Structure formats: structure tokens, C-alpha cells
Amino acid sequence: MLLSSMFLPPLLIKRFGCKWTIVISMCCYVAFSLGNFYASWFTLVPTSILLGLGAAPLWSAQGTYLTIMGNTQAEKAGKVGRDVVNQYFGIFFLIFQSSGVWGNLISSLVFGQTPSQEAIPEEQLLSCGASDCLMATASTNSTQRPSQTLIYTLLGIYTGSGVLAVLLVAVFLEPIKDAQRKREGDEGPPFWSTLLSTFRLLGDKRLRLLVLLPMYSGFEQAFLAGDYTRSYVTCALGIRFVGYVMICFSATNSLCSVLYGRLSQKTGRAALYALGAVTHLCCIIALLLWEPHPRQLAVFFVFSGLWGVSDAVWQTQNNALYGVLFEKDKEAAFANYRLWESLGFVIAFGYSTFLCVNVKLYILLGVLSLAMLAYGTVEYLEAKKAARPAAAEQAKPAEGEETETAM
């Protein structure tokens, strides 16, 4: 996905348009589901590569499509473009994050048919949470593998859903043209310029400052998916609770996504970023101090719910921010977004098996602080830029009055 983000999105979107880029990329996801039916190095590594190649164009095309559609609708309705784009991203992520509810519900119901496990020993609970330094990864009944029949059932449901999704998009999604480029009569840049557009956009100071936001998004998602589910949920409750905890995350994420899409029109994006940062900051500090135990069942869900409240900010506002700030270079901007987010995933999953959980939480804390500092700088630069034309407009009437007096 990291390599794909560098080159593929602008090329594919220019060649096939947003709709067919989405269709082609979704087929890569279906291929990965199929590769899991006979899970081995020979099936999973090639299909993982295919999935990574398809992921960046899919997300870039989706972001470009929503931005164009939002601006077109704003023009028709006489509204501010960024407000409609924010609202559209909110609606999209409401539906997208709800997939985590249905997906995890399916896996929980299918895997819930495995025999009930014994109580987790107290010795194992001592090494759960922030104190986990990979001591709790030994095979116990809390991480027991489900039967092959149940795995095939689950994969059949997921693959069938993927094929149905590809067909629905191919048949019903309306192709869309960039109205701005159409007005300007832009035929589009030449091949080599398109190929390098992702890197060329890094010349913009604002983008260089904003790379930490998608990187942090990659870090925090990787922590939830890889570390919270293993070192907290599986370690203290057992693997059967992972799906239900992730349902709580997806449900709050989904509801907050649509809420933030509407709230941003009244509060502005800076207030939402502050909410996301403070919520994650509190969660990280609490996770460093908390010692998970099966008796505290509700707390496992509270943490995943709060993580969803924050993640909804990063997903909706980051995408809308990139779409609004880099409207003329949408494809390259969203390709950059996926490039840096996937780098965050790569680093976080890369050190996942080497570092203790408390060290990972300190890294999250550091990246979050730097990302917010850089974001604040961009908002300051944007406010400064917006103030210049306003000052120039105020100066014009004053000049006119002076001329009139002189005459």
C-alpha cells in the first residue's frame, strides 16, 4: 500500500475515472478473502501484495469522488463547499464504520459456536495490559484456533459480501467528472507529471506539516487492532470477546462520524481535532495505568468506545481537510494521505513484536503531540492567508475616500 500510494492512484484515476478505479481496487480485496481459504505463504503473501496495491487507489478514488460530489452539490445549493464535503465524509464514514459492526457480529456469532473456555489463570492476567512484553502470547485456551469448518463458513460470508459489493458499485455508482477541470478545459497533465504528482505536492509546506496526522491515524488503528485486542482483550477475556469489543468501537465510530460531519459546520474543524486529541490522550494515560481483569468487563468496552469517538475525528476530518486544502490536486493529496497512513501502519506493525505495550503507548503519545502541534501551525497559516484578502478589501474603500477628498 505504501508503494502503491506513491504512483498508482493519480494514474488509475486519470485513466479509468473514480468509479472504475473503485471497482478494480475492490476486486483486490476479494482476492485476499479468497487467499484465506487455503492460508499459506504461497496464497497469503501474493494476495496481500495485491490487496496493498488496490488499497491506495480505492481510498484515493473514494476521497476524490466525495470531494467532487460535495463541491458540485454545494455549487447547486449555494452552500460553502467545505461544509458539504465535511457532511459527505461524515455520511460515508457512518456507513463504512458500520461495516465493523456487521463484520465483527458475523465473526463473533460464527466463532461463538466453539466450546466455552476455562477461566484464565491469575498468573496470565499479571502479564496483561501495559505490562505485556509478549509474555502472554503462548498458546492457551484463550487464543484457541476455531475449527476449519467455522473458518470456511466465515470466509464464505465475507467473500460473498465482497463480490456483491463489487457488482453493486459496477452497476449503480454514477460516473463523475471534475467540474472545475471541465470549466478550465484541462485535458489533464502528461503521463510523467501524473506519475510524480504525489511527490511534487510535497513541495507544499502545508502538506509537509500535515503528514503526521495520517501517520498517527495509522499508529492508533494498528494499536487498537494489534495490541489492544491481544494484550488487553484476548489476554484477560479470551478471543471470543474480541469481536464484541470491536463492535463497540465500530458503532461509536460510525455514529460519531455522521455527528462530526454536521457539527463541523457549527464548531469548525479545530474544535473537533481538540476533542479527538484530548480523548485519545486520556485513553493512552489510562491504558498505561490500568490492570485488566475479567471482573471489569464493562471497562474493555468503554476504552474501545472512546477510541472510536476519537478515531471518527481522524477519519472524517483528515479526509475533509485534505480535500479542502488541496482541492486542485485532490488525487495527489489523497494518495499522499494513504502513503503516510500506511507508513504509520508499517512502522506500528513492524515494532509490534519487539516492544512492550507501555513503550508503544508512549510512542503514540509522542506522535499525537507532534501531529497536533503541526496541525495547529497549518490552521495558523490558513487563518493568516484568509486575513490578507480581507485586509486588502478594507483598504480599498479607504483609498477611494482619500481620492474623493482630494478631488
Separation of alpha carbons 242 and 115, rounded Å: 16
Number of compact structural domains in the chain: 2
In a domain, 76, yes or no: yes
Q: 236 and 164 share a domain? A: no
Task: Give 348-392 pLDDT, tens digit per residue.
Answer: 999 988 899 999 999 999 999 999 999 999 999 888 887 766 555
In a domain, 404, yes or no: no
Whether pTM exceeds 0.75: yes
Q: 29 and 157 share a domain? A: yes
In a domain, 340, yes or no: yes
CATH of the domain at 316: 1.20.1250.20
In a domain, 393, yes or no: no
Nearest CA to 209 out of 397, 370, 1 is that of 370
- Please count the other Cβ atoms lying within 10 Å of the Cβ belonging to residue 78: 6
In a domain, 133, yes or no: no
Q: 172 and 218 share a domain? A: no
Q: What is the mean pLDDT of the chain?
A: 85
In a domain, 37, yes or no: yes
Nearest CA to 248 out of 317, 307, 290 is that of 307
pLDDT for 303 beyond 90: yes
Q: 164 and 245 share a domain? A: no
44-53, 140-149, 182-191: segment of lowest average pLDDT = 182-191
Q: 212 and 78 share a domain? A: no
pLDDT for res 86: 85
In a domain, 130, yes or no: no
pLDDT for res 139: 46
Q: 225 and 366 share a domain? A: yes
C-alpha cell, 76: 447547486
pLDDT for res 183: 47
Q: What is the distance of C-alpha 283 from the center of its chain?
A: 19
Per-residue pLDDT band for 149 (boundaries 50, 70, 90) equals confident
Q: 80 and 173 share a domain? A: yes
Per-residue pLDDT band for 109 (boundaries 50, 70, 90) equals confident
In a domain, 125, yes or no: no
Q: 310 and 376 share a domain? A: yes
pLDDT for res 368: 97
Q: 26 and 168 share a domain? A: yes
Q: 151 and 213 share a domain? A: no
67-81, 105-119, 179-193, 209-223: segment of lowest average pLDDT = 179-193
Q: 173 and 275 share a domain? A: no
Q: 69 and 113 share a domain? A: yes
Domain that holds residue 22: 1-119+142-178
